[in-house]
Structure 1
């Protein structure tokens, strides 16, 4: 089997496969062809497509080879076919997938410890969507189930293998890049503050202002004096003296009566 014919067979197998076709599977279907020769044939096919201006290429995806359409031509294909509804992942699902992808195999307890919330429902949904799979049991008390990502996970995120995941250092650099460089400065102009915010603090705060305390006490004294003048009845000096004299006369009469009563007692 000559080299040109082998490349055509490789092309036909990848084109006919609905899923990424592993290189060892291709080599096993073609006589006298090794996995390294399959990789070389794929590279030569991609060079041919590029030289002829082809609208597609062969790429490595999820441990296998698959045809794909170049981005500049996908718009026409989307008009031809009804757009498939994409799988939607919630924030909880993305968190769970990220933890599992970087720490797999991982147990449910470990996922919940990192997330801080229960993850039963999220794990169940991801298992149904075949984004996660059970990989075994942990060698701990109770032997809990361990979870890991699947080829569906790689295809969904466009990864050839788990090694293509971004490193944690790269993620930290991206986070720093999007963070604002300058701190927001608040305009704390005292003249623009509300009058209540300018009130002096008490002695316990160490910011006691004697002038503000004197002003406050003077205001209180003026208010108290004003209230007393308003509520007190207007009484003349004559009336006050008359009231005092009447009280003294009543006291003297009471004393005299008591003396008379005492003398008349046998």
Structure 2
């Protein structure tokens, strides 16, 4: 069923974010005006994965953020690294990374709780993370003032190339609300210099 494989390939290429199997199925079912079996979609995805393992391709099909997308292969990290260095201003700052680390491990968490851990005002870092769609407001706390609570988004998992929050590095000492900024950097293994996003 090469035509099905080709349609799925096109959907993955066109999608700006990892596309989930259910979304692929919905698109195909509407296009063909008939239900497309899950096993046919799974088979096509497997053939695509095998196809792009060939050395003639500089990219490969990966599963990340609960969906599928094409990403460049590790062998081309050097050239990509040069490009990323030139675009370093787009990377997260240390402050944003520390704030994101706290939210990832403590969510749902309020800004006040984040600031108690970091020891500094986090307004700018939180806003930057919201702008990049790496975190979102998940609700309000049942405490005085009903402060907003923050949590990570699917974009966060895509950014770091994981499929589930359980895949985050296990912190060595991240048990109390009195952890310092240095503890966040040294013990969560989620430092800007150590954890880099998957590159498209």
Same fold (TM over 0.5): yes
Give the equivalent residue in structure 2 for 1:145. Answer: 148
- Aligned match for 1:15, one of 13, 37, 42: 13
Q: Secondary structure at the match of 1:65?
A: strand
C-alpha displacement at 1:59, in angstroms? 0.8
| Distance in 2, Cα, partners of 1:143 & 1:154 | 28
Q: Secondary structure at the match of 2:53?
A: helix
C-alpha distance after superposition, 1:125-162 (max 9, x if no partner): 22223222111111222211011122332233232332
Give the equivalent residue in structure 2 for 1:41. Answer: 44
Give the equivalent residue in structure 1 for 2:159. Answer: 156
Give the equivalent residue in structure 2 for 1:101. Answer: 104
Is residue 58 of structure 1 aligned with residue 56 of structure 2? Answer: no
- Higher radius of gyration, 1 or 2: 1
Aligned pairs for 1:1-266 within 5 A: 3-31=1-29, 32-35=35-38, 37-51=40-54, 53-73=56-76, 84-168=87-171
| Distance in 1, Cα, partners of 2:164 & 2:97 | 18
In structure 2, relative to structure 1, the CA distance for the partners of 1:127 and 1:49 (3 Å cut) is: closer
Q: Secondary structure at the match of 1:59?
A: strand
Give the equivalent residue in structure 2 for 1:238. Answer: none
C-alpha distance after superposition, 1:37-78 (max 9, x if no partner): 434422221112225743221111222211112132455678
| Distance in 1, Cα, partners of 2:49 & 2:75 | 17
Q: Secondary structure at the match of 1:50?
A: coil
| Distance in 2, Cα, partners of 1:54 & 1:161 | 28
C-alpha distance after superposition, 1:78-106 (max 9, x if no partner): 899xx545523232211110110111111
In structure 2, relative to structure 1, the CA distance for the partners of 1:73 and 1:24 (3 Å cut) is: same
Q: Secondary structure at the match of 1:54?
A: coil
Q: List alignment gaps of at least 5 residues for structure 1.
A: 177-266
Q: Secondary structure at the match of 2:129?
A: helix
Q: List alignment gaps of at least 5 residues for structure 2.
A: 30-34, 175-182, 188-200
CA RMSD of aligned residues (A): 3.2
How many residues end up aligned between the 2 structures? 172
| Distance in 1, Cα, partners of 2:21 & 2:40 | 10
